[in-house]
Amino acid sequence: MGTIKGGVLGGFNGKVGAVVGSHWKGKAVMRGKSTAKKAKSSALQLEQQAKFTLMVKFLQAIVDFLNFSYKKAAVQMSGFNKAISTNIQFAIAGVYPDFAVDFPKVQLSKGSLPHIALPTAASTVAGKVDFTWTDNSKVTQGALSSDMVYVAAYNEEQKHWIINDAAAARNAGTFILDVTGYSGKLLHTYIGLLSADGKKASTSIYTGAVTVL
């Protein structure tokens, strides 16, 4: 707080920019305008921030894929933002501050394209994950043999994604994902479909936790 003895400013009262002028004990004084204290976040806000941070860290490595796989489901937002919102809602387990990703509930895509039938994932050869499914293009309305199957695997220990966004056509029935370097490690696996023109997606399916040979 400084005493004003004259000069170009002279004495003044009230606020001028970031300065407040007043009189105290017969002297003209000025002080910096106090700044409002930032309100503390509520418990609900802290929980939401923790969920958001967890899910962004989990999915940010596959942002380009999610922008595509959630493109149809997203309205006035990016596909990635829609994926974050969806998975915060459905794929987080635990109680604050001990939140964790609920891997079986993760959705890597969301849409109306019909699923494949009986999808599975297993490792029977070292460094490989074998995805299999039944082609249902001839018996399920809206399912086309040309729809493209994508497969994905996530290693929680290394926080690393392996994904093939055009693994095989729906009618192929199988795809072997190369996961060299992950022998003996656990991978969470997923499968889904994108239409050949890229305009539709299925909601992804969790095909289980697979320990790689």
R_g of the chain computed on alpha carbons: 28
Residue 156 domain-assigned (yes or no): yes
In a domain, 117, yes or no: yes
- 101-127 burial, b at 16+ Cβ within 10 Å, e below that, comes to bebeebbbbbbebbbbeebebbbeeee
Q: So what's the pLDDT on residue 31?
A: 59
Provide the pLDDT for residue 23. 58
Residues 23-80: tens digit of each pLDDT: 555 655 545 565 555 678 899 999 999 999 999 999 999 999 999 999 999 999 999 9
Q: Is residue 93 part of a domain?
A: yes
User: Does residue 114 lie within any of the structural domains?
Assistant: yes
Q: Which residues of the chain have pLDDT under 70?
A: 1-38
198 found inside a domain = yes
Query: In angstroms, rounded to a whole number, what is the distance separating the alpha carbons of residues 111 and 38?
Result: 41
User: Can you give the pTM of this predicted structure?
Assistant: 0.82
Q: How far is CA 106 from CA 74, 77, 91, 203, in A?
A: 17, 20, 5, 10
- Alpha-carbon distance of 57 to 154, in angstroms, equals 13
Instruction: Give the structural domain span for 140.
Output: 62-211
- Structural domain count, the chain: 1
CATH number at residue 71: 2.60.40.10
